[in-house]
Each structure stands twice: as C-alpha cells, then as structure tokens.
C-alpha cells in the first residue's frame, strides 16, 4: 500500500548534505564516483561533492547522551545490489539480516568506514 507523503509548504530547507569521514578520502570518493556511479561537482582542488539519490530522514529513540547520526543507502533488492557491488570489488560486513524495518548489511569503504545498505520494508518518503 503506497502512502502519500505529507509535505510542509514554505520550508526553507533545500536539501541534505551528508558527511563521511575516512582516513582515505580520495579512495572513498573514487568508489562513490566510479563504482556507485554518483554524479559529482568539483568544489575546488579535486574535492568532490557527490550527488545523492533522493533522501529522507528518520528519527530513532536513544538514551540521554547517545545521540548520533548514520548514513544509509536504500535499494530495492539488497541481495542483488550486494552481488553487483561485489562484482566491482566492494566488500560487506556480513550477510544481509532482517532488522524488522528492512533487510540490512554494511558496505565497507576505505579508512574504516562502514555505510548501511538496506532494502526498506516500510513506506519510503524519498521520491523515486
């Protein structure tokens, strides 16, 4: 069942800028550009800013002092996406697990960086 996204008119927010921190930023940028196929702009000196697919944000409960944020890449079929990315030489931290909200694993990127990859089971607010 598809649900209509409730819009908030007149919003001043124009987009999302996510940050990934890695001790090997050039290698991560190359993977995002060349293997994941993300478009980009050069902000100067080879500093690439990657174009992301449509985005959404969820707010999860946590205990006092435990606030943090995560970046997740959504896909329609996590097993097929993993196979495609493995063919390109990328690795994952374990096999997909059903977490209730979706089927999830972590994509391993250079510099001890892991990004969640999941196939959502919930309605998706991001434009497709």
More confident: 41 or 123: 41
Q: Are strands 72-74 and 113-120 parallel, antiparallel or unpaired?
A: parallel
Residues 51 and 43 sit within 8 Å (Cβ to Cβ): no
pLDDT at 35: 96
The pTM of the whole model exceeds 0.95: no
The CATH number of the domain where 107 resides is what?
A: 3.10.180.10
User: Residue 78's Cα: distance from chain center in Å?
Assistant: 13
Tokens of 117: 């990859």
Q: Is residue 12 part of a domain?
A: no
The parent domain of residue 109 ranges over 25-55+70-120
**How many domains, the chain?**
1
Q: Is residue 63 part of a domain?
A: no
Q: Is residue 127 part of a domain?
A: no
Q: What is the largest CA-CA distance in the chain?
A: 47
Does position 74 have pLDDT exceeding 60, yes or no? yes
Could you give the residue ranges of the DSSP H alpha helices within 31-92?
Answer: 78-87
Q: Is residue 78 part of a domain?
A: yes
Q: Is residue 98 part of a domain?
A: yes
Count other Cβ atoms within 10 Å, centred on residue 90. 16
Sequence-ordered list of residues with C-beta below 8 angstroms from that of 72, at least 6 positions apart, any chain: 115, 116, 117, 118
Count other Cβ atoms within 10 Å, centred on residue 115. 18
Q: Is residue 100 part of a domain?
A: yes
Structure confidence at residue 17 as a pLDDT band (50, 70, 90): confident
**pLDDT for 90-128, tens place per residue?**
999 999 999 998 999 999 999 999 999 999 999 888 776
Q: Is residue 64 part of a domain?
A: no
């Amino acid at each position: 069942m598809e649900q209509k996204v409730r819009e908030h008119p007149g919003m001043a927010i124009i987009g999302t800028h996510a940050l990934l921190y890695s001790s090997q930023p050039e290698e991560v940028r190359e993977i995002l550009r060349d293997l994941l196929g993300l478009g980009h702009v050069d902000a100067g000196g080879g500093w690439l800013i990657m174009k992301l697919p449509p985005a959404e944000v969820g707010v999860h409960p946590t205990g006092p002092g435990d606030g943090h944020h995560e970046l997740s890449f959504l896909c329609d079929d996590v097993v097929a996406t993993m196979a495609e990315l493995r063919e390109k030489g990328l690795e994952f931290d374990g096999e997909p697990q059903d977490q209730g909200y979706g089927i999830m694993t972590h994509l391993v990127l250079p510099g001890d960086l892991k990004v969640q990859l999941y196939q959502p089971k919930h309605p998706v607010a991001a434009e497709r």
